[in-house]
Structure 1
Amino acid sequence: DSLTMDDAEAIATQVDGVSVVAPSQRARTQVVANGLNWNPQVEGVTPAYLDARDWSISQGRMFDDTEERQARRVIVLGATVATELFPNVDPIGQSVRMAGGSYEVIGVLEPKGQTGFNDQDDIVLAPLTTVKRRISGRRGRADTVSQISVKAVSEDALTRVQEDVETLLRQRHRTQEGEDDFTVQNLSSISETAAQTTQVFTYLLGGISAVSLLVGGIGIMNIMLVSVTERTREIGLRKALGARQSDILHQFGIEAVTLSVAGGIIGLIIGVAGAWLMTSLFNLPLVISAWHAGVAIGFSGLVGLVFGAYPAWRAAQLDPIEALRRE
């Protein structure tokens, strides 16, 4: 790592428009509690980290400056880690084992959710000094850090602050533009790019869904037209016995909707199974919305109703005498 604590101090004191600077050190280790184990990202941070990342505590508290300076064995869990290690227990005050030592849980973070395939809540926060001395094994390089989070005083100052930070770090590291041994990322730009990418995928999947519904609807219409042709004598017999056009219309309309809804349910089951498989492979949480599932089934029924209307109308318009004559 090329970044140092002195770099963080320089950014805080020499760059205008900076409100918070929070150096941090990343590590990854197994966390064990109550016979359960998890392998989250461990982030050694200062108390200012939450402010720099606009994050808050949902339970308990964040460790303070004294605990950070003294390398106390206290941690704050991300929502995913808390759920995995303490599914039915209040995690506050509980102990976990990590990197050969025992650590007390003093807080739980507010859920942040997914960014792509990355679960932001799969994280453990510990004092920066604790991670350096006890977890990451960086005693010999105590001054270096993995990253430095910087928060600008306003969104308008963000671009200028980014440019000033890059200039300052090049001066301190004696590098030229294009030869940087560091990377400066603007989280607002990253979020905007992620939102645009998500929007593109939404449109793409929407188009695929529309084509799938059209193809499925045409298939249902063809099946129902074949059914009407094969059951012509049955339709004629029912009409001869007193069935009205509306009765025939309802019969074939209900059959089309039933066929479409059955296909929708099967597709939903396959989709849920596929989602479960993917989340299991990539260790992601599975979230299924009952509302969205209901909308999917409802659209299936609507497709059956629309594309089954013409075959049902054809069946209802058959002349009973002509229908009974057909072989």
Structure 2
Amino acid sequence: MNFSDILRTAIYALRGNWMRSALTSLGVIIGIAAVIVMVSVGQGTQQEIDKMVSGLGSQRLDISPGAGRGGGGVRMSSASFFTLNEGDVDAIRSEIPEVQYVAGALRGNTQVVYAENNASTSWQGVQADFFDINGWVIANGQGFDAQDYTSAGKTVILGETVRRTLFGDEPGIGQTIRLGRVPFTVVGTLKPKGQGGFGQDQDDVVMVPLETARRRLMGAMGLPSGAVMQIALTVSDAKDLSYAQGEVEGLLRQRHRIKPGEEDDFNVRNISEIVATRTATTRLMSLLLGAVATISLIVGGIGIMNIMLVSVTERIREIGLRMAVGAGPADVRRQFLAEAMLLSLGGGVLGIVIGVAGALLVGKFSDLPVALNGQVIALAATFSIMTGLFFGYYPARKASQLDPIEALRQQ
């Protein structure tokens, strides 16, 4: 028997009991669909993590205030939460050569108004290096000049979301807007970044000089002189990040006069460690979900093998007739193996269609990121073929080993 004869005979045999064939393929359909969806979600999540690393920087440290305690007593009052200041920023810049950029920042929320348009947004009071640290690029207009930083100039740079809300299609450069009750002149707009790694709109923000934020937007809070809410820094070489972290912690403990054994009044966060932890967690979840999908494929393959063994038992007389008219064991083995592979391949094709559709639906109706590519589909098709070949071989071999005379005696 040639290949076309084997294929035609296998299709005829499966079509004779199409309902059982469809149900037999169900396990493979579910397994392949699960593989595509799970792998697509895993790859999409990994891409989002890579995007987040690009946005945050793998060579970055963030320093925030912390309520330190020492000697069993409270080390600072509730009124002095702002334990970081511009002096710390200057000390880090001058005393730790591995640091490339460093900037202090204040932040808050406000209502931004222009004519009849308004938006509730967040503001950042920043120093010059803040833009380089966070990868912000001026799209229109210009950045703050030196005088803006030193004289608390009432100038503002808008994120794309705020600019679009206030000015529509216009750039808005030179226009006067209000942050709360304070008028500001728009000197620039930021190149959009889109959604961040944690789902936030990175463009829903406005930037003002640090001293402007302290005097104009937070004056009523009575901040300590030079206080900042956060210090961010980057190093020139990622290899120096851990060393720089230790140097920063030692320098701040010295400047804040923290004695040995006392708790720090600041927290240093290593972005790369957070991202690495999230990446490891994502990979672990992807492996777990992939294992579940693989189990579904194995169950589907066992179902195919089981049904093919039943088919061999039901068709013993047919096998005997085929051998009696000249079909050899190899012909019988190829026929049953072809039937098993058709079941698996048909289930694989349906599984690919359902998996691609399912992945697209997950990406559309949920917050999970999805990344489809041809390699995933090719992997799924290979899995389906291998499943049919592996689990169909034993029933095919059993059918080929039947004795023709004993087979013809079966009623």
Q: Name the TM-score class by shorter chain.
A: 0.5 to 0.7
- Asked if structure 1 preserves the Cα contact closer than 8 Å seen for 2:156 and 2:206, the reply is no
Would you say 1:257 and 2:339 are equivalent positions?
Answer: no
Q: What's the offset of the Cα at 1:136?
A: 6.8
1:186 to 270, 273, 290: 270
Counterpart of 2:222, as a letter, is G
Map Cα deviations across residues 189-245 of structure 1 (whole Å, 9 max, x no partner): 444444444444454444444444333332333244345545666777888999964
**Counterpart mapping for 1:99-110 below 5 A:** 106-109=189-192
2:299 to 212, 215, 223: 215
* 1:263 to 1:189, Cα distance in 2 relative to 1, 3 A: closer
**Counterpart mapping for 1:10-49 below 5 A:** 10-27=91-108, 42-49=123-130
2:222 to 132, 140, 143: 140
- Asked if structure 1 preserves the Cα contact closer than 8 Å seen for 2:126 and 2:207, the reply is yes
Counterpart of 1:186, as a letter, is N
* 1:248 to 1:313, Cα distance in 2 relative to 1, 3 A: closer
Aligned length: 312
Identity percentage of aligned residues: 34
SS in 2 for 1:185: strand
- Asked if structure 2 preserves the Cα contact closer than 8 Å seen for 1:28 and 1:39, the reply is yes
Counterpart of 2:346, as a letter, is T
Counterpart of 2:99, as a letter, is V
- Asked if structure 2 preserves the Cα contact closer than 8 Å seen for 1:264 and 1:296, the reply is no
SS in 1 for 2:143: coil
Q: What's the offset of the Cα at 1:148?
A: 0.5
Counterpart of 2:103, as a letter, is A
- Asked if structure 2 preserves the Cα contact closer than 8 Å seen for 1:259 and 1:304, the reply is no
Q: What's the offset of the Cα at 1:8?
A: 1.8
Counterpart of 1:171, as a letter, is Q
Alignment partner, residue 6 of structure 1 = 87
State the alpha-carbon separation in 1 of the partners of residues 357 and 121 from structure 2: 31
Segment drifting more, 267-276 vs 174-183: 267-276
Counterpart of 2:345, as a letter, is V
**Counterpart mapping for 1:246-285 below 5 A:** 246=334, 249-267=337-355, 269-270=357-358, 273-274=361-362, 276=364, 278-279=366-367
State the alpha-carbon separation in 1 of the partners of residues 379 and 155 from structure 2: 51
Map Cα deviations across residues 69-128 of structure 1 (whole Å, 9 max, x no partner): 423232234xxx69xx79xx9785599x996589866121557963xx465846635124
1:57 to 117, 125, 137: 137
* 1:258 to 1:229, Cα distance in 2 relative to 1, 3 A: farther
Segment drifting more, 235-244 vs 290-299: 235-244
Counterpart of 2:137, as a letter, is I
Alignment partner, residue 76 of structure 1 = 159
Q: What's the offset of the Cα at 1:258?
A: 0.9
Q: What's the offset of the Cα at 1:43?
A: 3.7
Q: What's the offset of the Cα at 1:251?
A: 3.8
Q: CA RMSD in A?
A: 4.9
Counterpart of 1:220, as a letter, is I
SS in 1 for 2:269: coil
* 1:297 to 1:159, Cα distance in 2 relative to 1, 3 A: closer
- Asked if structure 1 preserves the Cα contact closer than 8 Å seen for 2:302 and 2:391, the reply is no
Q: What's the offset of the Cα at 1:183?
A: 0.5
- Asked if structure 1 preserves the Cα contact closer than 8 Å seen for 2:343 and 2:388, the reply is no
- Asked if structure 2 preserves the Cα contact closer than 8 Å seen for 1:76 and 1:108, the reply is yes
- Asked if structure 2 preserves the Cα contact closer than 8 Å seen for 1:132 and 1:138, the reply is no
* 1:155 to 1:293, Cα distance in 2 relative to 1, 3 A: closer
Would you say 1:127 and 2:215 are equivalent positions?
Answer: no
- Asked if structure 2 preserves the Cα contact closer than 8 Å seen for 1:268 and 1:293, the reply is no
**Counterpart mapping for 1:171-320 below 5 A:** 171-176=254-259, 177-230=261-314, 245=332, 246=334, 249-267=337-355, 269-270=357-358, 273-274=361-362, 276=364, 278-279=366-367, 286-291=369-374, 293-295=376-378, 297-310=380-393, 313-314=396-397, 317=400
Q: What's the offset of the Cα at 1:37?
A: 10
* 1:136 to 1:235, Cα distance in 2 relative to 1, 3 A: farther
- Asked if structure 2 preserves the Cα contact closer than 8 Å seen for 1:260 and 1:303, the reply is no
Q: Could you say which structure has the greater relative contact order, defined with CA pairs below 8 angstroms and 6 or more residues apart? A: 2
What TM-score do the two structures reach when normalised by structure 2? 0.56
Q: What's the offset of the Cα at 1:295?
A: 3.8
Unaligned runs of 5+ in 1: none
What TM-score do the two structures reach when normalised by structure 1? 0.67
State the alpha-carbon separation in 2 of the partners of residues 242 and 99 from structure 1: 92
Counterpart of 2:133, as a letter, is A
Larger of the two Rg values belongs to structure: 2
Q: What's the offset of the Cα at 1:23?
A: 1.0
Alignment partner, residue 251 of structure 2 = 168
- Asked if structure 2 preserves the Cα contact closer than 8 Å seen for 1:23 and 1:149, the reply is yes
SS in 1 for 2:154: coil
* 1:223 to 1:111, Cα distance in 2 relative to 1, 3 A: farther
State the alpha-carbon separation in 2 of the partners of residues 322 and 197 from structure 1: 59
Q: What's the offset of the Cα at 1:185?
A: 2.3
SS in 2 for 1:183: strand
